[in-house]
């Protein structure tokens, strides 16, 4: 008998029980159907196996030691799916050691805006990079018998109001940009599970969005696995079961079971509906089952005792280093006067030509660098010169920061600091590991760290003393070069809160300004090391000689950074996102994050380089850009029916890795026209002085576009431009190809106005409406009214699945403007009376005094940082949570009736709410007892 036959023996109530979690991290099982329980753990870049497995809010528990691998933003900068696969397999090995069956990752949402709080987890602004790196992670994880869980499906682009926000995006942009990464992951790696997002997508919550879960994910892409809600993210159990939502997490107790059973009796949900969802859950349970050592009969008790062994942790740390060094991205490496104790001819080290800030035009050179200037008079700033004396400044050099905050935060076995790692390398003789061997046999050490100074306070507060100490150190006669480590801190990047600014803390900019002035007076080179999970404004970028971006590179980030600075490793990372000159340059700067219930993606497809390349706007560093200690040139482009090929030459004595990127420019097809789009890439190892062929194949996604008119993909006939290079603007090779498609080219619709060619800052509300109209996507004010759905769990009144409005009061950028050139695209909505889907942060304006006091206390708690400056994750999680989510998190202690009572308090009806609670709390307990007894009897049949 097969799994389906086993499940057909189960009663409807037993099937319904499988559709929600038993506790915070565990599913339910069924003995009669031989369906085991399975354990889940956060895991985008390492296993966060929580100690408080059954009760605590996600992101707040202590966790067992594991390896913190490079964050998603870093793995994407490797442009290497095979590396991602290796990291995924290592994470799965550690998950297995901890008794975990499902790893909740990777996070493949598109980086829509630089200020999104979880960009450090997300991979890229481009779906090809996100999808292919994400697929590599999934392949690696599942190669060890652990299920991967790509997330958050879909369009989860801001943290503000994340559980009560409607992502409104036109269907064409949705399909071509925001869903393509998930499609690639599904088609290339076959994930066993998929996590839905908190938000609504075009008016429907993701976990009950049939268009996403059934029409697209299952029917079009062929996904046959389990979908699970994000923690507390399910709106209704009935809506989920009907739409294709398999598992509600974490622990609604038996309240969801009661709702489903009532809907089954009413005929709203059929036995086949319950069976289909239960089959999806049970398949994961069986496919990820393995024996866990230990004698305790209880699954969780047994797994709580497990630990990762020291040998596995040591191997994990070694891999974390190997991965990190392939993600670090060299952004600037100018020629400087020779410094240090050795002035040998080092021109062959590859003095990299940094592009002019703001350059957007295609260049004829190679983005990985070209030697400029005579070797006798100049050397590249990096790697650090033999015999040089180094001053290190910056608190981030001694207090390691290598991951973001929130549910992805890993409790590490060890973590390297940049200063310690530089000291360790400085103690080694030069000949032990010089990059190119030219310094072999020279006396003394490769370099010396002569001093360190904080330079700034980590909390960002001004400190003239620390600044003075840093500049005093840098001025010393025995200092040849200054390495300044700056970046974002724990307070700046975390789940549950978006960044308030793209600027670095002012104290750090002051430090860099002081060092720039010193550099100008003395000629001492200044090398900046930037630690951050995403782009930052760099007003001093022209005033440093070298710039190494480390991202958030995992627990071995310090050692990896030192290895690149010292020249032990040749950097090969390339940016997976655009770095604007200023935040105001971003296409959606004026309306991100949306403060109200509707986040309208009014920029359409013009996100990241798609905007900057089309609009011709200057940037600090373009998408795909990265320098090297090698010098590469591309030549001999060949284009045929299967794809493209070119020759990569390494014109230096240094082995290196080149990232070759394929872009296409399409004929106009009537919709908003993007100048170019990435369609493939290859990372190529090229030995010193050698040549290698890079090949990138075409696939069904290379020339397609989505037509919302018939809901299908099409190919436009005509002349397409195929471009190959090393960034989205450095494309020295190109060719026209004539494609025979199924659609003729059409001029861009003039109704799009300024949106026709990415002039988003001047787009009117009519332009935005035209874009949505062409994509057959109604804006919120144009949607039909959804019928009220009677809550199957017995709520007193019918409730719409659609969220009512309400504005969270978390800190947000003052520049945000919810209007388009003075005109709102959504109707004005009064959040009162509050409903069950209004976030608790809105209760600061509640009519009920108790609700205001409660929300105010949460706000104060959330705004009080811990000793590291990080926000209170538990308070932030609850602030973003609507009352409805309490039911999904409370283990059965709260049902929909109690949720309505709590909302009554917020609406000022305290006496009525209190009277109803007196009835509803014991009624819920009694009804749960009856349901438990019924479930127990069903299991004995």
Write out the catalytic residue numbers: 230
Where do we find the tokens 């390494």?
650
Q: Which two tokens stand for residue 130?
A: 């996100």
Output b/e per residue, 538-568; b: 16+ Cβ within 10 A.
bebbebbbbbbbbbbbbbbbbbbbbbbbbbb
* Token couple for 348: 């062959």
From the list 175, 180, 179, 158, the residue with the least C-alpha distance to 167 is 158
CA distance 298 to 330: 51
DSSP state of 152: -
Q: In Å, what is the CA distance from 647 to each residue of 26, 253, 624, 725, 913?
A: 51, 60, 19, 11, 73
Tokens representing residue 311 in the block: 């040998």
Q: Would you state the structure tokens that stand for residue 658, as one six-digit string?
A: 């080149």
What is the DSSP secondary-structure string of 817-870? Answer: -SSBTTB-SS-----PSP-TTS-GGGGGG-SSHHHHHHHHHHHHHHHS--TTS-
Question: How many Cβ atoms sit within 10 Å of the Cβ of residue 937?
Answer: 11
Whether 808 contacts 160, CB under 8 Å: yes
What backbone torsions phi and psi does residue 445 show, to the nearest 5 degrees? -100, 160
Q: 200-201 and 204-205: which strand pairing?
A: antiparallel
Residue in this structure with the two tokens 């809550």, named with its chain if needed:
791
Helices assigned H by DSSP within 578-693: 609-615
- Any residues with CB less than 8 A from the CB of 724 and at least 6 apart, and which? 634, 637, 644, 646, 660, 661, 662, 663, 696, 731, 732, 733, 734
CA distance 703 to 643: 12
Q: Where are the beta strands (DSSP E) in 160-221?
A: 166-168, 193-195, 200-201, 204-205
Cα separation of 110 and 173, whole Å? Answer: 12
The two tokens of residue 241 are 């079961």
Dist CA 745 CA 378 (whole Å): 52
Following DSSP, what letter does each residue of 387-431 receive, concatenated?
Answer: TEEEEEE-GGGTS---S-BSTT--EES----HHHHHHHHHTSBGG
- Give the chain's length: 941
* Side-chain-facing half-sphere of 177: CA atoms under 13 Å: 28
Q: Work out the angle at residue 774's Cα, subtended by the Cα atoms of residues 768 and 780, and round it to the nearest 5 degrees.
A: 55
- 850, exposed or middle or buried, with CB in 10 Å at 0-12, 13-18, 19+? middle
Helix, strand, coil share (%) of the chain residues, nearest 5: 35, 20, 50
Q: Which residue has the tokens 């940016």?
A: 575
Cα 179 from Cα 388, distance rounded (Å): 50
Give the CB-side neighbour count of residue 552, counting CA atoms within 13 A.
31
């Amino acid at each position: 008998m097969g799994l389906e036959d086993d499940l057909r023996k189960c009663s409807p109530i037993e099937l319904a029980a499988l559709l929600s979690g038993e506790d915070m991290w565990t599913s339910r099982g069924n003995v009669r159907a031989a369906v085991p329980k399975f354990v889940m753990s956060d895991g985008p870049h390492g296993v966060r196996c929580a100690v408080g497995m059954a009760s605590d809010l996600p992101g707040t528990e202590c966790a067992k030691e594991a390896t913190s691998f490079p964050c998603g933003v870093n793995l994407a900068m490797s442009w290497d799916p095979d590396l991602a696969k290796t990291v995924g397999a290592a994470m799965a090995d550690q998950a297995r050691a901890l008794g975990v069956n499902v790893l909740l990752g990777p996070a493949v949402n598109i980086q829509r805006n630089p200020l999104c709080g979880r960009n450090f987890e997300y991979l890229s602004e481009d779906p090809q990079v996100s999808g292919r790196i994400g697929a590599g992670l999934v392949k690696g994880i599942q190669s060890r018998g652990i299920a991967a869980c790509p997330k958050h499906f879909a369009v989860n682009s801001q943290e503000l109001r994340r559980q009560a926000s409607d992502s409104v995006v036109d269907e064409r942009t949705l399909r071509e940009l925001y869903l393509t990464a998930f499609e690639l992951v599904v088609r290339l790696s076959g994930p066993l599970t998929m996590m839905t997002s908190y938000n609504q997508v075009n008016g429907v919550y993701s976990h009950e969005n049939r268009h996403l879960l059934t029409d697209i994910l299952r029917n079009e892409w062929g996904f046959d696995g389990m979908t699970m809600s994000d923690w507390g993210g399910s709106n209704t159990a009935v809506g989920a079961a009907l739409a294709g939502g398999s598992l509600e997490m974490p622990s609604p107790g038996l309240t969801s079971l009661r709702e489903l059973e009532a809907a089954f009796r009413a005929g709203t949900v059929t036995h086949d509906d319950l069976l289909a969802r239960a089959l999806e859950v049970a398949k994961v349970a069986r496919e990820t089952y393995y024996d866990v050592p230990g004698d305790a009969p209880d699954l969780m008790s047994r797994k709580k005792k497990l630990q990762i062994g020291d040998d596995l942790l040591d191997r994990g740390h070694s891999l974390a280093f190997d991965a990190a060094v392939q993600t670090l991205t060299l952004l600037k490496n100018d020629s400087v006067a020779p410094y240090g104790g050795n002035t040998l001819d080092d021109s062959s080290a590859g003095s990299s030509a940094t592009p002019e800030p703001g350059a957007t035009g295609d260049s004829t050179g190679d983005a990985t660098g070209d030697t400029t200037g005579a070797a006798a008079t100049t050397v590249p700033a990096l790697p650090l010169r033999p015999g040089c004396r180094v001053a290190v400044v910056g608190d981030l050099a001694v207090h390691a920061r290598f991951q973001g905050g929130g549910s992805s935060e890993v409790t590490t076995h060890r973590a390297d600091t940049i200063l310690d790692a530089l000291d360790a390398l400085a103690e080694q003789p030069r000949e032990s590991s010089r990059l190119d061997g030219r310094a072999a046999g020279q006396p003394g050490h490769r370099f010396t760290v002569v001093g360190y100074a904080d330079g700034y306070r980590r909390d960002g507060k001004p400190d003239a003393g620390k600044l003075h100490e840093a500049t005093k150190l840098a001025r010393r006669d025995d200092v040849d070069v200054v390495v300044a480590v700056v970046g974002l801190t724990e307070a700046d990047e975390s789940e549950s809160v978006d960044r308030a600014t793209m600027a670095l803390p002012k104290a750090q900019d002051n430090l860099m300004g002081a060092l720039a002035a010193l550099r100008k007076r003395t000629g001492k080179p200044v090398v900046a090391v930037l630690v951050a999970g995403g782009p930052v404004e760099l007003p001093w970028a022209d005033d440093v000689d070298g710039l190494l971006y480390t991202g958030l590179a995992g627990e071995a980030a310090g050692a990896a950074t030192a290895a690149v600075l010292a020249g032990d490793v040749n950097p090969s990372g390339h940016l997976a996102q655009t770095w604007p000159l200023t935040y105001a340059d971003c296409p959606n700067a004026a309306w991100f994050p949306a403060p109200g219930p509707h986040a309208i993606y009014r920029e359409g497809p013009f996100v990241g380089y798609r905007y900057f390349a089309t609009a011709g706007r200057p940037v600090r560093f373009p998408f795909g850009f990265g320098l090297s200690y090698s010098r590469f040139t591309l030549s001999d482009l060949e284009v045929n029916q299967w794809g493209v090929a070119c020759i990569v030459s390494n014109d230096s004595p240094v082995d290196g890795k080149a990232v070759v990127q394929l872009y296409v420019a399409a004929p106009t097809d009537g919709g908003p026209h993007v100048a170019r789009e990435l369609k493939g890439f290859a990372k190529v190892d090229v030995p010193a002085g050698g040549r290698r062929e890079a090949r990138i194949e075409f696939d069904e996604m290379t020339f397609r576009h989505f037509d919302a008119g018939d809901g299908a993909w099409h190919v436009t006939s005509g002349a397409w431009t195929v471009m190959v290079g090393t960034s989205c603007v450095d494309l020295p090779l190109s060719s026209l190809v004539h494609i025979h498609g199924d659609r003729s080219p059409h001029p861009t619709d003039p109704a799009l106005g300024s949106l026709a060619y990415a002039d988003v800052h001047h787009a009117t509300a009519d332009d935005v409406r035209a874009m949505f109209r062409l994509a057959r996507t109604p804006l919120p004010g144009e949607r039909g009214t959804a019928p009220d759905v009677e809550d199957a769990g017995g709520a007193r009144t019918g409730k719409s699945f659609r969220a009512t409005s309400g504005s969270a009061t978390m800190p947000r950028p003052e520049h945000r403007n919810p209007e388009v050139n003075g005109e709102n695209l959504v109707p004005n909505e009064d959040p009162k009376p509050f409903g069950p889907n209004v976030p608790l942060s809105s209760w600061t304006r509640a009519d009920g005094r108790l609700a205001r006091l409660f929300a105010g206390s949460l706000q104060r708690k959330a705004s009080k940082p811990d000793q590291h400056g990080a926000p209170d994750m538990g308070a932030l999680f609850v602030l973003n949570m609507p009352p409805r989510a309490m039911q999904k998190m409370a283990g059965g202690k709260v049902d929909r009736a109690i949720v309505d009572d709590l909302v009554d308090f917020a609406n000022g009806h305290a006496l009525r709410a209190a009277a109803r609670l007196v009835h509803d709390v014991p009624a819920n307990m009694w009804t749960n007892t009856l349901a438990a007894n019924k479930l127990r009897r069903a299991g004995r049949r």
